[in-house]
Each structure stands twice: as C-alpha cells, then as structure tokens.
Amino acid sequence: MYMPFNFEWLSDDKAVISNLTGEFSVLEKHDLLEVANSEISERNKINSTSTFLYENESEKNSLSKLHSSSYARRTLNSLKSPFLFIIVPTLRCDHDCTYCQVSRANLDAAGVDLDIGSIEPIVNLIERVGKPPYKIEFQGGEPLLRFDFIKHFINRFDQDHGEESEYIIATSLSLLNNEIIEFSKNNNVHFSVSLDGTSVFHDSQRRNVIASSHQMAGNGILALSESIGIDRVATVTTITRDALRVPQDIIDGHNNLGLKNMFVRPLSPYGFASYKMDKYYSTNEYLAYYSKLLDLLVAQYDDVGIVEHMALIHLQKIFRPDKTGYNDLKSPAGYLLGSLIINYDGNIFGADEARMIYEQHKTKELVVGHIGNPDFKQHDAGIEILSNSFISEMPMCNECAYQPYCGADPLHHLSLQQDLIGDKSTSFFCQIQKGIFGKIFKMIDDKKSMKVFDQWLAYGSR
Amino acid sequence: MPDEKNLSLSFSKDKLDELVIRKALYQLTPYCEWELEETGTSWIVTAYSEKKDIKRVFDRLINDQVLRSKIDRETYQLRRKIIYKALSDIGGGA
Amino acid sequence: MEVVRKDIFHVISGSVDPGLYRADINSNRKSVGIIPNLRVNQLSDQLITSNSVQLQSDHTFSDGDILLVGKGGAVRAILSKSANANTLLVTERCDNLCEFCSQPPKEANDDVLFGMAAQALTEFQTSDLVGISGGEPFLSKKIFLAFMSTLNSLGCRTPLHILSNGRALQDISFTKKLADVCQYREVSIGIPLHGVRESTHDSLTAAPGSWKETIDGLINAGHMGFNIELRFIPTLDNLSELEKLIVFVGRTMPFISQLSIMNLEPHGWAKKNWKSLYRSPVFYSKTLESAVKIGERLGVNTRLFNYPLCHLKGEYLRNKAERSISDWKNYYPDECNDCAVMDKCCGYFKSSKNMFLEKPRKWAI
C-alpha cells in the first residue's frame, strides 16, 4: 500500500516519483505500473525507499503525520527565507543590450536617478523590514554610473551594520576604476557581472559604443580577481539564439578568465525582450542547449572545475528543500516576503519582475509603497499574488513530481498570460523548469554525473 | 478549417472518465487546437492538425492520465487529509 | 587492563555515612552548601585512597567533585571535573525493553534519584554539558518537570543532554511544558530510532506501539524547536534499514542536529543477546559509507560512536568517528600501544573482553 505520490516521465521507460516529504526515486516503467496496480513485487525498486510504502494502518498513520509535517515545514520555510533588498540608483546605462529586461535609459536621461537624500529613508526601511545578515544588491541601468550613491550608502549602512552586511553590485564592469576597486577591498562588496560567452557572442548582444563590452568585462574580472579575489565575483550568462549552437563557448569564456562558477539562464520575457519574444527560441531549443551544456561541464569537471549554479540551485532544492531559499523557486512565492525593490523613482516593489512589469505597463497595483511615505499602503495585490502561489493546489502543479522542489513565479504568469496562476500547459516558466528538473534527475540517476553533482553540492554547502 | 486534416477520435464513456479526457486535452493544447463533443455513450475529440503523430501523442497523454487517475483513486483522500493538516498546523502556529 | 579513569574507590580509614558528598581537596572552589563536604587528603591517604592499581593521570578526581558513598564503603565519583564526560542516572525504570539494553530496567520506585541528581548538579556548578540518562528519564513526566523546575530555582544553569526513547514526547502538552521549563537552558535530547518499519523497531524494543509513539514524539519535539540527536544502533535485525533510515530522517526530520550511529556495548542484555545482535563493522563498511554519504547529500550530520578506528574502512568513515566512550569504562588493549592514531581513537568498552572483544586490526595508513 502506498502514500500519495506524483510521477513524471524522464524517458519512454523511466519515471521519477516523489511525494510530499520530498523523497524521490527513479523507477522503470514496469515498476511504476506495478505500484499503480498495487501489485508490488519483491524486486520492485520502490522497496528501497523509506516514505512511500506502508504495511498496516499504524504505519500509514505515522507516515501521514510525517508527510504532513514535511509539507508544513517546507511551506513555512518559504515564508521565512533570507531577505534580499534591491536598490536601483539609476536607470541610465552605457550599454544597449538586445535582451535588456529593465527598459534602460540613455546616459543623458533626466529624472531616472535616486537622490543621495533618499539614503536615510532607505536605511530606515531596511532596518524596519529586514534583520541581519543583510544582503543588499545594487542594480540598474548601470549602477556604477552612480558610484557616489553606492559609496554613500555603504558608508552609512556600515556605521551600524558593517559586521553583518553583504553588498552586491550587478554591473557590466565597463566603468570599473581603481577607486571602486579600493573601496570594494575595504568593504564587503561582491560583483555580479554579465558574461555571455567569448567576445563574439558577448559583444553581439551586449552593445557599448565605446569599446568591446566583452573586453571591458574581462579586464574588470581580472582586475577584481587580483585585488578582492575571484570568490567575490559571480557571473550571469543570458543565452540568446546564436549561442544555442555552441555550448562549449560559455565554458571557454569562463575558463579563459579563471572563473570557477557560472550561472546560466534563458531569455526572460520582461523589458525590451518581450516585444521580440518570437524572435528568440522555443523552450525545447533552450533545453536541448542546456542539456548539452551540463553534459559538457560534468565531463570536463576534472579539468576546468566549473560549477553551474542554476543546476546547483535545483540540486539543492531537490536534496535539501528545507534548507534552500531561492526567490524564483518558492511556493508560496518570494514576492514581498523574500525581496523588496527600491526603484530609482522611490517606488517600492515586492519583486524584480514587478518593477519590470510596472516599467512597461505602469501597473499601479504592483507598487507597494514609496520611500517618501513611511507607511506601506494597503497592498491588496500582494495578498492576491501570494495566495495564488501555493502550487500544491494548482492544475498541473498538483500532480507534478517536481512540486516539492519547484515554485510559483506568479508574476511571470501575470506578465505573459495575464493571470497569476497561468495555464501551465503553455507556460514558458513551467516548461523550462520541467525540462531542467527532468535533465537533472536523469543525471542523478547516472553514477558518473552524480559523482560530480556531489562535489557541486559539497561546494554549495561550504 | 478547410485545409487542415481533422483527426476524430471516439472514446466510450464506459472506458474513460471525463476528467481523464479533459486533463489529456489540457496537455494537448501546445500541440494543436481541439474540440470535445459529447454523445449519449461517447466522447468525441477532434484534433485540428496536419502533424502525423497527433494520434500517438494523444494516446500517450491519455495513457498517462489513466495511470495518474489510478494512483489518485488510491490516495486522493489521504492526500487531502495530509495537506489540510499541514495548513491548519501552520495556521495554528505549530 | 586499566580504564582511562578510575571512578571507584574505597574508604580505608575512618567511617563515612552513605550518601552524597562534595569532595573538598584544597578548598579551592566555593561550595553552594547543598551537599556536605568530605575532606579528602590525597597525599596522606588519610580518609580515602584508591586500591593498588597505578593510574594514568595524576588526579582521579578533583576538588568540588560529587562523591556517592555506598553502604559497603565503596565511593564513586558521580560527577567529576576529571571526567571526559559526565552522565547522571535519574531512574532505572523504562517503558521499553530493548534487546541490547546496557542498563536493563528495574521496576522499583526510584524517584529519590532525581532528588540526588538535582542536588549533585547544583553543587557541582559546571557549565559543561552533563548527560541525563536512565532507564527512561521522562517516564514520570511530573517528576521530570519538577526536577527541571528545581534546578531552575536553585540557580543551576548546567547544559543537559537527555537520553530518552522519545515516547513521552507524543504527549504534546508535556512537550510544551518541557520546552517552557527548558527555555533558559541549553537542552538537547538523544532519541534512538531502530528502523523505518514499525515491526523492526518494535521487535527490537520488545514494546508494541513504541515506534509509533517515538515518531509522534520526534514530530512534536521538532515543532517545539528542541535540539534533537537521533541515534541508530546497528544490529543484525536492522542493519538492512540503515540507508533507508538516513533518507527517512533527512526528508522528514531535517530539524535533527546530528545522527549518531552507535556500535553496541557488550553490557547488560546486549551481552546476553550478543550472538543474535552483533555484526562486525568490518563487514558492513560499504553500507555505512554509502549511508553516511547519502546523509551528507541530504544535509544530515552523521557521526560514528564507539567504533575503534581500525574497524572502519577508509579515511572518509574514520573522519566521522568520535571519541565517544566515557573514560570510566574505556580502555585500550595492549596492541593499541603501537598504533599511530591511538589519541584520535575511542578505544573499547571495558566490557569488550574475551568473546565480546573484536580485536584491533592492523591497517597501513
């Protein structure tokens, strides 16, 4: 007799099963059919699991309580993950990337910057809503255009919280100079840099009028590596159509700069990119690319030793769902409960996607408040968004084997399908997640790949 | 739709649940347009597509849903109980 | 064969009434005044002396230690600054009857032991961890809560590690009261789970319903935020469930702070049932390593207790081993004197002799 469980096909004859505790197993088709027909033979692989089967009413009762408490704990955990504060000091940018998600502004644009005077109310807000350890990220546009603001802010915040704060600057590094490097050395500053491959691919989509964006990024990474250490530099790679053909390129692009970590993501539909969505690629095309990329990284791990963090996050969610918080893969969603965005105009949003949607459509309902006004207004939209992000009860999610590890992303569905829950059968988010989970479970089922994944997991928990 | 081949499939109501058919159709949406009609004894699915493998794809989706509904039948009540208990524990501040 | 620390002595001259005493050697430490002082002069052997065995360390007990003088003149240091670990017995009664119990239960009412423990702890004034064991310490819930309350009101702040079968914790109101009375003290609870199947656990505890209650207890304790150490004792009857247990714990009890896998101690009933229980770790090293690695992946912190290093295959497992045997029942066979890692090894229980001794092995490092 078996507890409630879900399954997804990994191939024609293998399926992954999972239940509310998060335990999973990869079964061959005949084993799964045996279970469904309640005729489990002795050599059925499900016998080696620990929370799927019970022998009598008493075991069933105890297991039910355990399934229940696991599910409750995971849900609560989602509600109390560490907070990320994002500050957008300017929307101006010296790049004009083809896939820009934030509707960047020109260098000479007016009215798209935060005033130094706004630092004090922002600090008050962070102290009120968050608690140590603090994680504060500067985004843009190009945040280094307002290094003055960043410097002021960090100096101010460090006065009271220097020991317990981490700052991240998301930048192309085109404006990196010695002053910035020195300052970063003396403060706990980390960098998040876009690196889309070797120069051909990177420059074709990340355009800067002055020089090769790739060259500036590369020089910046090397300079930071020598001064503050490579551990404080993380990269983000956005894959566009051209890059799909050559998965080795992004590996080389990182290896050439001595980078041991990468984070790869598909184009997202926000900002400029959404107008040209159909010019990019289908989810199947992306998944075929990503699958090859992971195979290459695993095969080359002994040589290049690179960890891919999108996969690592998924692995961490699979093996330690109670101990992993990643805002985009949470149920209920990380909206408002895991992040706050302070925009260049002083508006406050509950998620990065929310400000992107606002930028495009001026959706007032998504504005949570304003730093000039110390009280948050009644944020009805927030309750609506959160209550529609419990995936265990949504169509398709409720019978998906990846549910214990996946998340809701209601704003993604709001943007693309004009509905918070969305139709998962056509959802970009869902197809990508299912594809990534499917590939990862296939690799988990392979001894050689799992050996490398164990090393990634060990790295991730150091 | 004059130029497209329509594939028409009939399922006896004795053999298949409405829910199974509807769930399979939900998943068919990315592949093609479809229509569902009902008679006294059967369900009739019309798939609007030129693709040659639509029947195979749909058969697989039906099989998948039959398997899921078998499993669901065994465990539906228990699952609801478990989730209800979990959510009320959260509400009670456990 | 000598134990690492001798804890039993005899009164050679003078007479001492049976009872609890505080050892006063050099009047260094201040007394709380709950337990009478017993002046001990070690140099002149005037009041108490050890028997003729030579000891490894200079002092077998220290100023401020708590001594229990028995009727026949035997003296035992029940709490000692010289000990590597201190554990107090608070009852010999238990509602489980584990096949490998090293402290087989008795039925007589022994609540008086709680009173003595409260006095001893308060007088001893240590901020090091002290174990509370039995029997089953939570068997009488009222008495246990009163015990904790007494410690609190006497100002004793000692951190405690309580060994329990966890069954009493199925009572949510007891668990809440326990959390309340422990809120200003570091408390952890060590709870054994013998298997993932009810039949496996219940046949090893010889107590029907014990698995169900222990699971309920673990769930409640987890919710109330207790620090739980889960214990697994491998035997011939449950070894096959070790890997499943790690997954079970990792998935349903992520709140446990540690999983301790404990090698059998050949004492009490374990001795009686040795042949049907004991499996040499050398023969299940692979399973052990696989289980610990699975645990690592799931974030379960696994440690190995009571395993001599030479019984574990490979560096990976040896790094998980703890020096876990209380010094008063700990010894190293002569062969160990040649061993390069003796100071990292837990050695053997003093009861591991003759047929119960699995001899030290030679491994090349």
3-state secondary structure chain C: CCCCCCCEEEECCCCCCCEEEEEECCCCCCCCCCCCEEECCCCCCCCEECCCCCCCCCCCCCCCCEEEECCCCEEEEEECCCCCCEEEECCCCCCCCCCCCCCCCCCCCCCHHHHHHHHHHHHHCCCCCEEEECCCCCCCHHHHHHHHHHHHHCCCCCCEEEECCCHHHHCHHHHHHHHHHCCCCCEEEEEECCCCCHHHHHHHHCCCCHHHHHHHHHHHHHHCCCEEEEEECCCCCCHHHHHHHHHHHHHHCCCCCEEEEECCCCCCHHHHCHHHHCCCHHHCHHHHHHHHHHHHHHCCCEEEECCCHHHCCCHHHHCCECCCCCHHHEECCHHHHHCCCHHHCCCEECCCCHHHCCCCCCCCC
- Of residues A422 and C350, which shows the higher confidence score? C350
Smallest CA–CA distance from C170 into chain A, residue: A62
- Of A337-341, B67-71, C196-200, minimum mean pLDDT range: A337-341
C39: which strand partners?
C24
Q: What is the mean pLDDT of residues A324-345?
A: 70
Biggest CA-to-CA distance, chain A: 73
Q: Which residues make Cβ contacts (< 8 Å) with residue A222, sequence separation at least 6?
A: A257, A258
Work out how many CB contacts closer than 8 A connect A with C. 64
Put simply, the answer to whether A454 touches C244 (Cβ < 8 Å) is: no
Contact at CB, A320 and C199, closer than 8 angstroms: no
Instruction: Return the partners of chain A (3 or more C-beta pairs < 8 Å).
Output: B, C
> pTM, whole model, 2 decimals?
0.89
Angle at A186 between CA A185 and CA A189, to 5 degrees: 65
Of A38, A67, A75, the CB nearest to B82: A67
pLDDT of residue C56: 26
* Closest chain A residue to B32, measured at CA: A426
> In chain C, what residues touch A1 (CB-CB under 8 Å)?
none
* Chain B hits for A71, Cβ within 8 Å: 82-83, 86
Q: Which of residues 227-266 of C touch A (CB under 8 A)?
A: 243-245, 247-248, 251-252, 254-255
Asked if residue B2 has pLDDT above 90, the reply is no
Question: Which tens digit of pLDDT belongs to each residue from A144-188?
Answer: 999 999 999 999 999 999 888 999 999 999 999 999 999 999 999
Please identify among residues 1-40 of chain B the ones whose CB lies closer than 8 Å to any CB of chain A: 26-27, 29-30
Query: How are beta strands B6-12 and A14-18 bridged, if at all?
Result: unpaired
Structure-token pair, residue C165: 């079968």
Q: Predicted ipTM?
A: 0.90
Which residue shows structure tokens 């120069």? A199
pLDDT at A424: 61
Per-residue pLDDT tens over the stretch A5-30:
999 999 999 999 999 999 999 999 99
Pick A414 or C200 by higher pLDDT: C200
pLDDT computed for residue A338 by the predictor: 72
Greater pLDDT, A288 or C59: A288
Say if the Cβ atoms of A37 and B70 lie within 8 Å.
yes
Chain C partners within 8 Å of A80 (Cβ) = none
Please check the confidence at residue C61 and state whether its pLDDT lies above 70. yes
**pLDDT grade for C48, boundaries at 50, 70 and 90:** very low
Residue A392 pLDDT greater than 90, yes or no: no
The distance in angstroms from the start CA to the end CA of chain C is 26
Task: For C296, name the nearest residue in chain A, comparing CA atoms only.
Answer: A458
pLDDT above 90 coverage of chain C, percent: 72
pLDDT band of C112, cuts 50, 70, 90: very high
SS3 annotation, chain B: CCCCCEEEEEEECCCCCHHHHHHHHHHHCCCCEEEEEECCCEEEEEEECCCCCHHHHHHHHHHHHHHHHHHHHHHHHHHHHHHHHHHHHHHCCC
- Cβ neighbourhood burial of A200 (10 Å; 0-12, 13-18, 19+): middle
Rounded to a whole number, what is the distance in Å from the CA of A43 to chain C's nearest CA?
15
Kindly report which listed range (A66-70, A230-234, A395-399, C275-279) carries the lowest average pLDDT score. A395-399
Å between A16 CA and nearest CA of chain C: 16
| Strand, helix or coil for residue A208 | strand
The dihedral region occupied by A252, where left means phi > 0, alpha psi between -120 and 50, and beta the remainder, is alpha
CB C301 within 8 A of CB C259: yes
- Is residue C39's pLDDT more than 80? no
- Closest residue to C252, CB basis, from A58, A70, A320: A70
Chains that touch C (3 or more CB pairs under 8 A): A
> Regarding predicted confidence, which is higher, B4 or A435?
A435
pLDDT of A387: 58
Best of A18, A53, A71 to mutate (most B CBs within 10 Å, chain B): A71
Higher-scoring residue by pLDDT: A444, A267: A444
Nearest to A50 among C223, C248, C293 (CB): C248
**What tens digit of pLDDT does each residue of A32-51 get?**
999 999 999 999 999 999 99
pLDDT at A318 over 70: yes
Q: Does the CB of A400 have a partner CB in chain B at under 8 Å?
A: no
Q: Average model confidence (pLDDT) for chain A?
A: 86
- Residue A366 near residue A357, CB atoms below 8 Å: yes
Give the mean pLDDT of A100-121: 87
Place of tokens 């644009």: A109
Distance CA C125, CA C32 (A): 8
Is the distance from CB of C347 to CB of C84 less than 8 angstroms? no
Is A426's CB within 8 Å of B29's CB? Answer: yes
The whole-number pLDDT of residue C286 equals 93
Average pLDDT over residues A299-312: 95
Chain A hits for B94, CB-CB cut-off 8 Å, are 72
Which has more confidence, A361 or B84?
B84
- Cα(C190)–Cα(C262) distance, integer angstroms: 12
C211 lies within 8 A of chain A by CB: yes
Examine the pLDDT at C54 and tell me if it is beyond 60: no
DSSP code of A405?
Answer: T
**pLDDT for A430 beyond 80:** yes
Residue A377 has pLDDT above 60, yes or no: no
C211, C201 contact by CB (below 8 A): yes
Task: Specify whether the CB–CB gap between C34 and C123 falls below 8 A.
Answer: yes
Separation in Å, CA of A69 to nearest CA in chain B: 6
Summarize pLDDT for A229-257 with one digit per residue, the tens: 998 999 999 888 888 889 999 999 999 99
Is A417 a residue whose pLDDT tops 70? no
Distance between B55 CA and the closest CA of chain A, angstroms? 17
Residues on chain B touching A35 (C-beta within 8 angstroms): 71
Mutate to test the interface with B, among A10, A33, A399 (most CBs of B within 10 A): A399
Tell me which residue has tokens 């690629």.
Answer: A281
- Average pLDDT value for chain C: 89
Q: In this model, does residue B94 exceed pLDDT 50? A: no
Q: What is the pLDDT of residue C118?
A: 96
Instruction: Return the H-helix or E-strand segment holding A443.
Output: helix A428-444
Question: How confident is the model over C310-330, as a mean pLDDT?
Answer: 92
Give whole-number Cα distances, A73 to A52, B10, C219, C254, C349, in Å: 19, 46, 11, 9, 40
C193-206 tens-digit pLDDT: 999 999 999 999 99
C-alpha distance from A335 to closest chain C C-alpha (Å): 25
- Determine the average pLDDT of the residues in C222-231: 96
Strand partners, A92: A105
With beta carbons less than 8 A apart as the criterion, state whether A336 and A351 touch.
yes
pLDDT at C52: 25
> What residues pair up with C22 in beta bridges, in sequence order?
C37, C66
